[in-house]
Amino acid sequence: MAGELRVRDLRVSVEGKPILRGVDLTVRAGEIHALMGPNGSGKSTLSHAIVGHPGYKIESGSVSLNGENLLDLPADARARLGLFLAFQYPVAIPGVTVANFLRSALAAQRGGAPVPPREFKRLLAENLDLLGIQEAFASRYLNDGFSGGEKKRLEIMQMAVLRPRFAILDEPDSGLDIDAVRTVAEGVNALAGPELGVLIITHYQRILDYVRPDFVHVLLDGRVVRSGGQELVRELEERGYDWLREEAASGTGS
C-alpha cells in the first residue's frame, strides 16, 4: 500500500529552547530521502519528534502517516502504524539475546500477540541470510560488546524483521569505518522497495555513495533551506554548509 510521511511547519523545543523552526518534509513510499546538515542543525531532534520521544516538545505544526495524525499518539502506537527509528547510539541490554529481543519487538508490533516459534525461526533465518549475517549473531546479548558496525547492523536487522512502512535512520554511518558503512548501506539497499519510505540522516557524503537518495534536503538552524538531488550531495562535499547559511540569511536561497 502506497502512502506518505508528511511533516508540516513543525516547531519543536527542548527544555524551552527552540530547535526546529518550521520544518516541511514529505517522504513517500518507495522513496529514499537524505537529510543533511552540520551538528546542532536539528536533524536528530526531527527524528525523535517524529517518533514521539517525550523529551521533545511540539510547539506547533503537524506530523502524519498516511493521513493519520501522529502527534496525538504515543511512541508505541506510532511504531505499530509502521514507523521505525534506527538509533544513532543503540544501547546495550546484557542478558537479552538478539533473537529474543527481535521476537518481543515483533510481538509488540502485532499488538502483543505471541509470534509462533516456527514462524519466527523462519523469519529470522530469511533476514539473516538477506543481510549476510551469521546465525551466531542472533544468540549474542543485545549490543553487549558489539562494535559500532555490529550495532548499526543490528538496527538494520530490526528493520528487516519488523518491515516498517517508513524508516528513519539517524546517522547510520556515525563512528563507522568505510567497510562498516558499506555493510550497513548494503542492508538498506536490500530492504528498499516500493512499500518502504526511507529518511537517512547524515553529516557526510560517504553513505550516500552506496545508498543513492531520490531527494536530498539540507537542514540549517532548524529549517530546511535547500532540497535537490544527488548533485546537492556533491556540492555540499565541495563547498560545505556556510554558503547555504549565507543564502538563507540574505533570503536568496531556493
3-state secondary structure 129-188: HHCCCCHHHHHCEECCCCCHHHHHHHHHHHHHHHCCCEEEEECCCCCCCHHHHHHHHHHH
Instruction: Render pLDDT for 4-28 as a digit per residue (tens, 0 to 9).
Output: 999 999 999 999 999 999 999 999 9
Our count of domains for the chain comes to 1
φ and ψ at 73, to 5 degrees? -110, 145
Instruction: Render pLDDT for 203-239 as a digit per residue (tens, 0 to 9).
Output: 888 899 999 999 999 999 999 999 999 999 999 989 9
pLDDT score of 254 more than 60? no
Pairwise CA distance, residues 199 & 197, whole Å:
7
Q: Find the range with the poorest average confidence among 2-16, 35-49, 168-182.
A: 168-182
Pairwise CA distance, residues 206 & 183, whole Å:
12
pLDDT of 57: 96
Instruction: Render pLDDT for 111-153 as a digit per residue (tens, 0 to 9).
Output: 888 999 999 999 999 999 988 889 999 999 999 999 988 999 8
pLDDT of 77: 94
pTM above threshold 0.85: yes
Confidence band for 253, pLDDT divided at 50, 70 and 90: low
User: Is the distance from CB of 211 to CB of 185 less than 8 angstroms?
Assistant: yes
Q: Which domain holds residue 84?
A: 4-92+150-250
Asked, for residue 220, whether it belongs to a domain, the answer is yes
pLDDT score of 202 more than 80? yes
| Percent of the chain whose predicted confidence (pLDDT) is above 70 | 98
Asked, for residue 135, whether it belongs to a domain, the answer is no
pLDDT of 183: 86
pLDDT score of 1 more than 50? no
Domain of 180, CATH number, reads 3.40.50.300
pLDDT score of 91 more than 70? yes
Instruction: Render pLDDT for 154-167 as a digit per residue (tens, 0 to 9).
Output: 999 999 999 999 99
Which is it for the CA torsion 131, 152, 106, 163, positive or negative? negative
Question: Phi-psi bin for 143: left (phi > 0), alpha (psi -120 to 50), beta?
Answer: left
Asked, for residue 242, whether it belongs to a domain, the answer is yes
Asked, for residue 194, whether it belongs to a domain, the answer is yes
Closest-CA residue to 123 (of 87, 97, 154, 99): 99
Asked, for residue 204, whether it belongs to a domain, the answer is yes
The DSSP symbol for 194 reads: T
Place of cell 536561497: 253
Asked, for residue 104, whether it belongs to a domain, the answer is no
| Percent of the chain whose predicted confidence (pLDDT) is above 90 | 74
Asked, for residue 172, whether it belongs to a domain, the answer is yes
pLDDT of 92: 94
Pairwise CA distance, residues 232 & 36, whole Å:
10
Q: Can you tell me the mean pLDDT for 83-87?
A: 94
Asked, for residue 101, whether it belongs to a domain, the answer is no
pLDDT of 177: 86
Place of cell 558503512: 181
